Structure 1
Amino acid sequence: MPSAAFLVYSGIMPLLKTFFTIIAGYAAAKMGMFPPAASRGTSHITMNMALPALIFANVVPAFTPSNISALGPLFLIAFTYQAIGFLSGLIIREVCYVPRNFWQGVIVMTGMSNWGNLPTAVVLSITQQAPFNPATDPALGVSYVSIFIVSYHLVFWMGGAAHSLSWDFRPGVPQGEAAEVRVSWKEKPIGSLITRYILRQEPPNSFAAAAIEADKTKDIEESFSEKEKNAGTDGAIPVSELRRSEGIDDTAESDPDVQLARRTSRISTASVPMPHRRPSLSAAAAPSAIPSAPPPSPAQSARDLETQSIAQRSETLHTPTLPQKIVRVFRPLGAIVTPVTCTLAVSLPIALVQPLKALFVDVSATGGPSFKGPDGRPPLAFMIDTANFMGGITVPLALVLLGASFARIKLPRPLSRLPIMAMFLSTFAKMIMLPVIGIFLVQAMTGAGLVQKDEKALRFVMMFLSGTPTAVNQLIVASLYAPDGNVDNLSACLLVQYIFMFIASSALTAVALLLL
């Protein structure tokens, strides 16, 4: 049995190069060498070109009819991890202080994990050393990670997790300081149901007074702002200038995650069942209680239109026709049509059909046909070489992009405004509790015969991906839905998770290697 020092060393060393690359991306962004435009281009390249190429180059040689049975346990444990995460986030929301505009965000953050480039980099590094087989296990590891990626896309996009982030920014949901009102458990979604239907009590509404006060303050500020504009300008301010003054990046909407979010979130909220809401006291108050705001100027109207969230814009849509309703019903299915899922859909049949596979790789050793080109290699071997060459940029580019994303995170001031307890409990759930559960689940599946004991790459991937932090693209999608693009609470939670990830991942890797 290897010593504890060797296990710790084996768990830490493969992770060092990933963290050094993240730090390099962070430094490059801070020095202005990696601006937002470069991040968007890098995101397009990694998600639409490099990662699909890497998956194709690894799935075709790695999967065989003998190990294709691993798909069932992989999907089973991936969905189990997500279900446990969502349940943990639900409990955290109910028992901890969480701002009102982060109630759904904390659930999605705890349920969805980074199963893309980051674990691919770690798995590639670790499977190249003992006790793994460097000749076959790196390709198998990437293939197994790709199954987790598919399960992520199914739940986040097609399953509606991405669209559910808009619930925190629907009309009537307090934003800004009004969302930071601390409420009792009886006012949380599940607590209010228990209070109303089991305890037979009417749940309180602490947001009402805050909403009235916020409306008064907003009306006064708009009145002063209107006077200043009338006194200092003769015409409307261009929308682009207003967006720059508000800190809104016009070109951010070209991000692939943003485009996918737009495709999957254009279903009118009128056609989606809305949870019952009691009318706000601010809306029911007498007209004399709240001063009326002056009519907005063209510049103010333009800014309001440009900074509206998707959920707010959807309220203004007209009643859809029958063809439009049919399109909207099936539009979420298009979320699974991504370069990654399409690559996997093409790669798996090639890997499992021996005559097709023989065109790309040599399968004569396993009894398959032998097709040779003039150079003595399979005729389409150059496609595997090209995919390997392109896929080689996936890991470093993605890690640099991750570091640059951290450099642009803005934390609220003072930090006491953050949901500190919810942040640490969600980190504990994702980085400590779920890995412990994952280790026991994998060991139980091995003992029950669902996973073979000698499939070390499979067992390691199933254990390691139980302890990864939240995916960064939730930050992109949530900022798209937010009226002002402000998602400081999510940014702070992500920062805590990725800082803690080094220690947690090293420990998880050491334990997994000990159990293999």
Structure 2
Amino acid sequence: MDQRMRSASDNLLSAVVPLLKLLCLTVIGLILAHPRTQIIPRATFKLLSKLVFALFLPCLIFVHLGQSVTLDDVLLWWFVPVNVLISTAIGCALGYIVALICRPPPQFFRFTVIMTGFGNTGNLPIAIVGSVCHSSDNPFGPGCHRTGIAYVSFAQWVAVILVYTFVYHMMEPPMEYYEIVSEDNEIVEEPINNISMPLLHEAEWPGIVDKGTRHSKKPFIARVFMSISGSSNTFPDIDFSEEGGADVGPSSPKSLRCLAEPKVIRRIRVVAEETPIRHILQPPTIASLLALIVGMVPVLKDFVFGYDAPLSFITDSLDILAGAVVPSVMLILGGMLAEGPNDSALGIRTTIGITIARLVVLPMIGIVVVALADKWHLLIEGDQMYRFVLLLQYTTPSAILLGAIASLRNYAVKEASALLFWQHICAVVSLSLYIAIYFKLLSYV
């Protein structure tokens, strides 16, 4: 009995201590960036986030994923990206239920669904894995850090594709969010909400706000399909003649294609062309692709990785840079939280509903999903870190990247910053609780 109690207390301690380490780093960032102290200006945190995004994080992904992955591993790890899709689908379903129960303002219905469905699958799980594996007595063995980072990195490309397709369009500003201003017989659309929060925008994906198209801040899809639905609205329809440019003569190939194309298909094509999927090739994604290519080709892997590899001095240098990811990410998070929550029109009831669904209910469902996957032999046999990363995908707060998307689309920027603030405050407790539960469950697997 005494040994069982000691084991339970050890599991709790092993779960709480890594988060306390991360919390200390976050508090330091909060103190450095707090408006009353301003020891380090906001611009410095923005530059630090760019370093993380363009240098530190790609180095971390390349070194750890490249060393760990093989062609056989890619076939074995298939459930990691699939689990991202499952967790997102379940989260969006929960968000829909929250929206029905809590009844947020109509313009924030889709926002409620997205903020509940999409968790942080990148920087925060990497920081948690790094902190858990930092001590020598971690419950996952000596290869804990390398394999954990590899699993997290392997799932990132799915999240990036979802952000630039599904999330991008779901976060489109509703029609009622805009007002029509008529000047000199020209109709101009002006956004009502123009609140910005720089650190929030730069925290995970610097420069994403500059990746928009000419329709990013407009209700694009609604206007494209408005004539099909037959709804009457004062907003002008999209001028499809613009897409042809100079080549729009009656005998041009583009005009012939448009004449032969059904109206619905043509409008779907226009929406697809305006989707900024081309921006998925960012430094972390490129590092993941390079790591997979090098890791799956034994000749290249032996040339780049290993003590006797000709390019080992380069990978060692990259590994040194990779060590800056965890402290930098947590300092940036602290700087973001130092700005405090903005005023939000979302409502307290909806904010609490999203937070409970994301941080309390979804992890419970995640335990069931991972347990069923394990029972059906879909997971790697005996690999506890693999299961831990899968469970983490259900446990993290909403992705900070959603704040940048909100700014990119000029939709619910204040509400995103306030919700992310309160979720990350509450996540200190929920993450500690669930990581302790995961350690307990994984000790019996």
Which is higher, the Rg of structure 1 or of structure 2? Answer: 1
Q: Matched residues in 2 for 1:42 and 1:70: separation?
A: 35
**Residues 397/262 of structure 1: CA separation in 2 closer, same or farther (3 Å cut):** farther
Match of 1:460 among 388, 391, 394: 388
C-alpha displacement at 1:411, in angstroms? 2.8
Which whole-Å CA distance do the structure 1 matches of 2:230 and 2:152 have between them?
41
Given that 2:341 and 2:421 are in contact with CA atoms closer than 8 Å, whether structure 1 keeps it comes out as no
- The 1:250–1:85 alpha-carbon spacing in structure 2 relative to 1, beyond 3 Å, is closer
Relative to structure 1, is the Cα distance of residues 452 and 429 closer, same or farther in structure 2, using a 3 angstrom cutoff? same
Cα distance change, pair 249–97 in 1 and its aligned pair in 2 (3 A) = closer
Query: Is this contact kept in 2: 1:82–1:112, CA < 8 A?
Result: yes
Q: 2:271 & 2:397 partners in 1: Cα distance?
A: 35
Indicate the residue corresponding to 2:225 in structure 1: 273
Task: Determine the structure 2 residue equivalent to 1:405.
Answer: 336
Aligned residue for 1:452, secondary structure, equals coil
Q: Is the 2:66–2:292 contact (alpha carbons within 8 Å) kept by the matching residues of 1?
A: yes
* Structure 2 Cα separation of the partners of residues 388 and 313 of structure 1: 53
| TM-superposed deviation, 1:268 | 8.7
- Per the alignment, do residues 148 and 267 of structure 1 end up closer, same or farther by CA in structure 2, a change over 3 Å counting? farther
Q: TM-score scaled by structure 2?
A: 0.79
Matched, 1:12 2:16: yes
Matched to 2:133, the amino acid is T
CA distance in 2 between counterparts of 1:85 and 1:353 reads 37
Q: Secondary structure at the match of 2:171?
A: helix
Amino acid at match of 1:336: I
The answer to whether the 8 Å contact 2:64/2:147 transfers is yes
Name the Cα RMSD after superposition: 3.4
Q: How far 1:38 moved relative to its partner?
A: 1.9
Task: Name the structure 1 match of 2:140.
Answer: 132
Offset at residue 327 of structure 1 (A): 11
Amino acid at match of 1:273: F
SS in 1 for 2:378: coil
Cα deviation, residue 267, structure 1: 9.5
Aligned to 2:154: 147
Is the Cα contact below 8 Å between 1:163 and 1:261 reproduced in 2? no
How far apart are 1:162 and its partner, in Å? Answer: 2.3
Confirm whether residue 259 of structure 1 aligns to residue 210 of structure 2: yes
* 1:233-382 equivalent positions in 2, closer than 5 A: 255-262=206-213, 265=216, 269=220, 272-274=224-226, 276=229, 319-321=242-244, 329=273, 332-362=276-306, 377-382=308-313
Taking the aligned partners of 1:69 and 1:474, their CA distance within structure 2 comes to: 30
Aligned to 1:93: 99
Q: For 1:17-36, list aligned pairs within 5 A.
A: 17-30=21-34, 31-36=37-42
Q: In the superposition, relative to structure 1, how do residues 401 and 433 fare at CA in structure 2: closer, same or farther (>3 Å)?
A: same
Correspondence for 1:368:
none
- Contact 1:144–1:458 (Cα < 8 Å) also in 2: yes
2:439 corresponds to 1:507: no
Q: Is the 8 A contact 2:359 2:430 kept in 1?
A: yes
Asked whether the 8 Å contact 1:21–1:396 carries over to 2, the reply is: yes
1:82 aligns with 2:34: no
TM-fit CA distance, 1:439: 1.4
Identity %: 25
Who is 2:47 aligned against? Answer: 41
- Superposition deviation, residue 257 in structure 1: 2.0
Contact 1:268 1:315 in 2 (8 A): no
Q: CA deviation at 1:114?
A: 1.1
Please tell me whether the aligned partners of residues 224 and 237 of structure 2 are also in contact (alpha carbons under 8 angstroms). Answer: no
Identify if the C-alpha distance between structure 1 residues 96 and 249 changes in structure 2 by more than 3 Å, giving closer, same or farther: closer
Q: Which residue of 2 aligns with 1:231?
A: none
Displacement of 1:334 after TM fit?
Answer: 0.7
For 2:355, the equivalent position in structure 1 comes to 427
Amino acid at match of 1:32: Q
Query: Does 2:321 correspond to 1:390?
Result: yes
Aligned CA distance change for structure 1 residues 50 and 61 (closer, same or farther; 3 Å) = same
**Counterpart AA for 2:302:** A
Could you tell which deviates more after superposition, 67-76 or 426-435? 67-76
Distance 1:500 1:70, change over 3 A: farther
User: 1:328 Cα shift?
Assistant: 6.2
Distance in 1, Cα, partners of 2:237 & 2:339: 29
Match of 2:368 in 1: 440
How far apart, CA to CA, are the structure 2 residues paired with 1:451 and 1:477?
33
Query: Which amino acid in structure 1 is aligned with residue 415 of structure 2?
Result: N
Please tell me whether the aligned partners of residues 173 and 410 of structure 2 are also in contact (alpha carbons under 8 angstroms): no
Q: Is the 8 A contact 1:97 1:419 kept in 2?
A: no
Determine if contact 1:163/1:264 at 8 Å carries over to the other structure.
no
- Counterpart residue type for residue 260 of structure 1: K
SS of equivalent to 1:167: coil
Residue 495 (structure 1) shift: 1.9
AA paired with 2:62? F
Aligned-residue offset at 1:459: 0.8
For the structure 1 residues 137 and 103, does the alpha-carbon distance in structure 2 shift closer, same or farther, using more than 3 Å as the test?
A: same
Deviations 1:440-470 (A, max 9, x none): 2212222221113311110111112210001
Residues 27, 264 of structure 1: CA spacing in aligned structure 2 closer, same or farther, 3 A cutoff? Answer: farther
1:233 alignment partner in structure 2? none
SS in 2 for 1:502: helix
Specify the code of the residue in structure 2 equivalent to 1:422: T
Distance 1:249 1:78 in 2: 28
Work out whether residues 43 and 256 of structure 1, in 8 Å CA contact, stay in contact via their aligned partners in 2: no
- With the length of structure 1 as denominator, give the TM-score of the two structures: 0.69
Letter in 2 for 1:320: E
- Counterpart of 1:359 in 2: which secondary structure? helix
Cα 1:4–1:381, aligned 2, differ >3 Å: closer, same or farther?
same
Per mean C-alpha deviation after superposition, the further-off stretch among 487-496 and 70-79 is 487-496
CA contact (8 A) 2:94 2:116 kept: yes
One-letter amino acid matched to 1:269 = F
* Cα distance between partner residues in 2 of 1:381 and 1:117: 26
Distance in 1 of aligned mates of 2:33 and 2:368: 40
**Residues 247/513 of structure 1: CA separation in 2 closer, same or farther (3 Å cut):** closer
**Cα distance, 1:132–1:87 mapped onto 2, change above 3 Å:** same
Rounded to whole Å, the distance in 1 between the matches of 2:357 and 2:197 is 34
Confirm or deny: 8 A CA contact 1:163 1:265 kept in the other structure.
no
